[in-house]
Structure 1
Amino acid sequence: MLKKIIIAILLSAISHIQIFSEEIDFYSDIPDAELTQKLIKQMSNQELLGQVLMYSYEGDRVSGENLYWVRDKNLGAIKMFGWNATSSYNMVNTITRLQKEAYQLKFKIPLLVATDQEGGWVQHIRGNTTQTPGNLSLGATNNLIDSYTTGKLIGNELRALGINMNFAPTVDVYRNKDADVIGPRAFSSDPIETANLALAFYKGMDETRVITTAKHFPGHGNTNKDSHGTLPIIKSTIEDLYANDLIPYELLFNENIPAVMMGHLAFPNINKEIIPASLSPSFVTELLKEKMNFKGVAITDDLFMHGARVNGLSFAGESKLALLAGNDLLLVSKTARQHQLIWDELLYLMGEDKVLKDRIADAASRVISMKLKYLKDDNRVPLYPDYKSLESIPLSGTKEFVQSQAGRSITIVKNEKIPYINSDDDSILLISNYNRFMNIGKEFYPEAKRTWITNPETFSNVPQTANYFDTVVFCLTSKTNLRVLKSLENYKGNLIVLSFLTPVYIDTLPWVKTFVAAYGQSEESMRAAFSVLKGFTNAPGTFPLDLEKME
């Protein structure tokens, strides 16, 4: 009997050794779910931790710093900001070099390379990439094909650059008129329209194999505060969220969107405390993962933002809190010193706190599962982008689509002077802070004069200057512009307002009789607005906001 027991123990030990000595990596020919678990079991604490952190870096090229994090610390994700993309050539070289470093590591797990390329207002990668008219413009056309095509267009451009994850679309329902940080980034004030357009955008981007990320859960559209600078406190109840802000997420989760970004937003009427949803188990684990059954990767918005600061905690303390709340990937933009402090503290705690270590292992498994789905097959976003691919941006037909979509979104909100065809005797003044607006305006009205509103010193002169002209065409883009526009309330000539980005300010301008909404700020949007004003084209867009229902 004793002999049998000894043999059984030896066989079990041999089997155990075989399991853990099996040489596997990201590319092993094993079903994804099984491979994920095998990788997790064989990874060290450092390798696990690397998979749940996403760091940015200084400068626009490969440096000792970013090589160190990938090669020596097994960092699994990097974030590209505008300062990393001043040169497309350098950015492609950096991505290629870092992915090659990742491939040299034991498990050969590719890096997530992420950015914010929403279209319209928010576009971290510039260069030759396309500035589409944006989400609110898509809401004005309310055309699912337009939204699908936009997602695919943006995805294809990121794919050519080797960027495999995009923090888009913004699916915040535009509920508060003073939600300036969201504004034209939203599709609509209607949750159903938002959901449908967001789904179409996701389907288009997903076709390019770029990982889509819906944001900012559970909803940033009902506050007048900006989580970059403070913690917005939103009075919504859970019933209110389900009836509005969560509707787009429910549809996207049913269609297996791979990632969601958590917002730094407080909802004291729901969890009875002033803490960001991004750091709250009530929102990340209970609401997102358990009640709404989200199976993908939950990523924090940048933990460097002021909205994430809690009770004087260090960034390392916030990072621990974010992981225990249920986040799977932590975005930390800067700085190098904080990156090291976060890393050192979390790695130490993994050896002391089994609950935290198990949570990190679970988070890493979600991240690796997503990577296996998107970054392993032959149709993945290229890990080593070719410099020649830069020549393909923008892709064929892009400019024609963007001009067409911008034109179809133009909305005449108030119509007293459209079309405006000036006579030889009419004197025209263009007022704007955009050179682009001024130049395009001169193309349509060559005889027009121009006044730039670039700083407060120029604001006070506007009413007096305007009185010398029969017609003023005013470019409205922000609350700052709005203050200048309101100084023209007593102007006696023809006042025409061309609104770009959010048109929500019309609610405060009952005395304006001619108002055209264009939503984007690109050349295509401005050209489309002037084309409608001149009477060359129609304005088929519909106003995407229900101002009476907005707060």
Structure 2
Amino acid sequence: MIFDILSKKFQRHNTGQKIVKIAKKLCSALAALALMTPLFPEIPDDADFWSDYPNAELADFLVSKMDDGELLSQILMFGWAGEEPSDLLNRWISERGLGSVKVFGWNTDDTDKVAESISEVQERSQKRKLKIPLFVATDQEGGWIRHVKGDTTETPGNMAIGASALPMDSYYSAYYISREINALGINMNFAPTVDLYTNINSSVIGSRSFGENPDFVGKLGSEFVRGSLDAGVIPTAKHFPGHGDTSLDSHGKLPEISADYETLKKRELIPFKYLIDKKIPAIMSGHLSFPNIIGNGEPASLSHKFLTEILRGDLKYDGLIITDDMMMNGATMYAGSVSAAFTAAIRAGNDIILSSTTAELNENLWTRNIALMKSDGEFRGSVKDAARRVLRAKLEYFKSPNAAPLHPDLKTVHERVPDKDGQKFFLSQACRSITAYKTGNFPYKRKEGERVLLAGQTQFDSFFTEARKRYGQDCSQFKFDYELGPIQTDWMGNQIEKLALGYDTIIFCVANERSSEIAMRLKKLHGKKVIILSILTPVPVLGFDWADTILCGYSWSKYSFKALFGALNGEFTPSGILPLPQ
């Protein structure tokens, strides 16, 4: 532009071609000087993550200061298997600047140790030059998906929220769950699950779903997001584009879902659209194949079409995209290897690549992708863009007033976990969720001399405790394991069929298909009152028309058992709806 102005001026005064050439050289020199000028002249070279500059400019600055290894490390998330982070994970953080870690549920019974470990890994991140903190994630959905155990609250879960049909129950469930993990230093939660309960035989989704109605799920999911953010935790909607229409679990193999794109738009994508409109900061991509949308069988988590064209393009999403665990067979079987799956995930448009195990420092997933960054400019650009998006999200979160602490206060952990206000709420929420699916002699009051047998899973102490509070300590007990093989199931069925002959009323807890098979043996008995208390998904008891009473509670939480027996005993009138296709 300067050259054009000077050229016209000189030509107008007939100063000749020589002056024009001089002007051209001057402009070239100025352009070269501009290229040598730092891109961020206002940000000093020694600035770091915590320096006080606008987030967008600071994110660009941080990216400019990172080498290829740091850029790639920033978009990786690794978990640890022991009670505390391994030396290997610590090296990834200290030596390479790992961007995120995941707290899995294998060794989280010691709440203090979880908080202490998080503080230690964050301290390592702050010893690096750029001082970029870690995203620390977990799966604390509520209900039976509760990776951080110890003193945290076991809640009624999503299907119970769907049964109460109250948005406030979704908001406060997320709020109190998030307050607890925030106290431990966890800043990201892989929840809410907004998969529709389209296939009621789904073993992996089940009671993790709010229900089967897309708008209903979208509204409840939106409130869950709001509650999480208000409590200072980043919510992550999952599993895009929807895991509900399959009975297969992508941990074991790649599920194929036959829905076409028009069906998805009218069904599975609607909840995600609700959340995108509410500015959901993160979405998890699922290891799910849609052969009628992409004929080559690639999972959505590795698909440029699903993540870049549909999620980013059609749905206008601009937040973080995080893969489901790349150690799941649903991803690696298609890609052929873990390293190839990581490459495909980056090319597809994921910003954070999650692995439940910590990779060795020189595994193929590292060496392959570092080499690609050097040889493939487009691939390096994808890594760089993802790192920039992660850094921008971190700046926005960690510099907000209610971010989870990098170093949780170990002295106050037990004052905040479990959350005392949350405990009161979850009991009331459980009561609102109880659904009376079938009512015979209801409510049930034990008559004098009536012989009562309690049948349920060994693991659920609350079932037996709450029953005996109301129906007497002399109630007999029949216990069996939650996980049973077919032979054990048949044997237990034979045992209860004989045992029940000596009782007038049997109160039976059905939690899954195996316990349902055992309970079905009571159908043969005549003159016995059978009361079924269903927890988790109610699908296994929907055909129990022979039972006297069926109540649905959707969870093995102690609050759900209190609510179930409170309703059965007539302490309140159950008002929950069945959140299943009618």
Report the TM-score when normalising by structure 1: 0.95
Question: RMSD in angstroms over aligned alpha carbons?
Answer: 1.8
Structure 1 match to 2:429: 405
Change (3 A) 1:32 1:508: same
SS at match of 2:363: helix
Matching residue's letter, 1:494: K
How far is 1:90 from its partner? 1.9
Give yes or no for contact 1:116–1:123 (8 Å, CA) kept in 2. Answer: yes
Q: Which residue of 1 aligns with 2:539?
A: 504
Per the TM alignment, residue 28 of structure 1 is displaced from its structure 2 partner at its CA by 2.3
| Shift, 1:136, TM fit | 0.5
What is the aligned partner in structure 1 of residue 229 from structure 2?
206
**Aligned with 1:496: secondary structure?**
strand
Secondary structure of 2:63's aligned partner: helix
Counterpart position of 1:133: 156
For 1:59-92, what per-residue CA distance to the aligned partner results, in whole angstroms no more than 9, with x for missing partners? 1124422220100011010000112423222222
Determine the structure 1 residue equivalent to 2:561: 526
In structure 2, which of residues 235, 244, 250 is the aligned counterpart of residue 221 of structure 1?
244
The equivalent of 1:444 in structure 2 is: 470
How many correspondences in the alignment?
Answer: 547
Post-superposition offset of 1:5:
5.7
Would you say the 8 A contact 2:516–2:541 is kept in 1? no
After superposition, residues 314-463 of structure 1 pair within 5 angstroms as 314-337=337-360, 340-391=363-414, 392-433=416-457, 434-446=460-472, 447-454=474-481, 455=484, 456=488, 457-463=491-497
Uncovered stretches (5+) of structure 2, i.e. residues with no partner: 1-21
Cα pair distance change 1:71/1:256, threshold 3 Å = same
Q: Residue in 1 aligned with 2:18?
A: none
Which position in structure 2 is the counterpart of 1:155? Answer: 178
Q: 1:105, CA displacement in angstroms?
A: 1.3
**Quick one: which of 480, 485, 501 aligns to 1:467?**
501
Q: How does 1:472-551 map to 2 (within 5 A)?
A: 472-492=506-526, 493-546=528-581, 548=582
- Distance in 2 between residues matched to 1:462 and 1:383, nearest whole Å: 53
Contact 2:83-2:113 within 8 A present in 1 as well: yes
TM-score by length of 2: 0.90
Q: Which one is further off, 506-515 or 351-360? A: 506-515
Q: Does 1:27 align with 2:62?
A: no
8 Å CA contact retained: 1:116, 1:168: yes
* Residues 352-409 of structure 1, C-alpha deviations (whole Å, 9 max, x = no match): 1111111011111111111111112343211111102312212232221111111111
Equivalent positions of 1:297-316 (< 5 A) are: 297-311=320-334, 313-316=336-339
- Could you tell me which amino acid in structure 1 is paired with residue 569 of structure 2? K
Between 524-533 and 328-337, the greater mean CA deviation after superposition: 328-337
1:179 to 198, 202, 209: 202
Task: Tell me which amino acid in the other structure corresponds to 2:543.
Answer: T
Task: Give the C-alpha shift of residue 38 in structure 1.
Answer: 2.1
1:115 to partner: Cα distance: 0.1
Q: How does 1:223-242 map to 2 (within 5 A)?
A: 223-242=246-265
| Whole-angstrom CA distance in 2 between matches of 1:484 and 1:10 | 81
Residues 122, 133 of structure 2: 8 Å contact kept: yes
Q: 1: CA distance between counterparts of 2:362 and 2:191?
A: 25
Q: Which amino acid aligns with 1:236?
A: A
Measure, in 2, the Cα distance between the counterparts of 1:319 and 1:508: 45
- Per the TM alignment, residue 327 of structure 1 is displaced from its structure 2 partner at its CA by 0.8
Contact 2:325–2:355 at 8 Å: present in 1 too? yes
Amino acid at match of 1:526: F
What amino acid is the match of 1:285?
T
Residue identity matched to 1:435: D
Residue 312 (structure 1) shift: 6.1
CA-CA distance at 1:127 after TM superposition: 1.0
> How many Å separate the matches in 1 of 2:443 and 2:351?
54
Whole-Å separation in 2 of the counterparts to 1:495 and 1:380: 50
Give the gaps of 5 or more residues in structure 1.
none
Distance 1:14 1:300 in 2: 38
Deviates more, 1:296-305 or 1:7-16: 7-16
